[in-house]
Structure 1
Amino acid sequence: MLAETICSAVSAAGLGIAAITAYRKRFLAAARIAAYALVPLGLVMTGAVAWVADALSFSPVVWAGFGVLGAAWLLLLSTRAVERRRAGRPGVAGGAEPRAVAPGAPVPSRTVTAKPRSAPSADDDFGDIEAILKKHGI
């Protein structure tokens, strides 16, 4: 009786944490927390907590408990699959989203073309510095 109460309380606390996590817009983490929180409840409902003392009975609550355990397992698998798919996308980790390019459009190159310079002179260097200062209004 005490073990069932503790397992139910742990499940309720875990589902509360999952709700708070979902409120913070972290749905993948919330689904994973909910899946872990449902495991003790499923174990209580299946009678696995008192499995040693009693034999498995064919009550609807026991089979509903197996259903809860299956739902928790499916949640865990689906969140891991989504996480693996996100890890493979370029630009997701850095926070920048990739730009859409129309099919058949030329891909812009990143090469910078510059005219070749001759040996730098002191006047040329000061001219660049003066241009920068003027640009900033100094």
Structure 2
Amino acid sequence: MIAETVCSAVSAAGLGIAAITAYRKRFLAATRLAAYSLVPVALVMTGVVGWLADTAFSMKAWVGFGVLGVAWLLLVTTRAVERRTGGTRKERKAAKAAQREGVAPGASAPSLGQGARPAAQPVQPKAAAPREDFSDIEAILKKHGI
């Protein structure tokens, strides 16, 4: 009952301010104020204010909000711990197994047997690579003062 009275008083005050604003020839602002002023009365008429008032003064509702808060806190905590440790146990085991297996597990085994190895090729030293000419790049850099 008190909530409905307060909402009605707020709406009446807002409509009064809108009327004064319209008297001052600021019709757009007056219309906007009138729209905002009608919202509390509309909430009273739809029953939202009564429902909120009943919820605000209900011990059962506050306990429910507390339980929701605890659930949210538990979810956030588990996500933070999961990120810090690198995932769940299953994910860590799968990652370790993938590391052990490698890309091609049988690639290190000889493909021909022991007796069929080809003779080792003598290693020849590589010729020195010809030095590239960077004179044009140096000229561009000098041109720009670098």
More helix by percentage: 2
Larger Rg: 2
Q: TM-score range by the shorter chain?
A: 0.3 to 0.5
Q: Which has the higher contact order (CA 8 A, sep 6+)?
A: 1
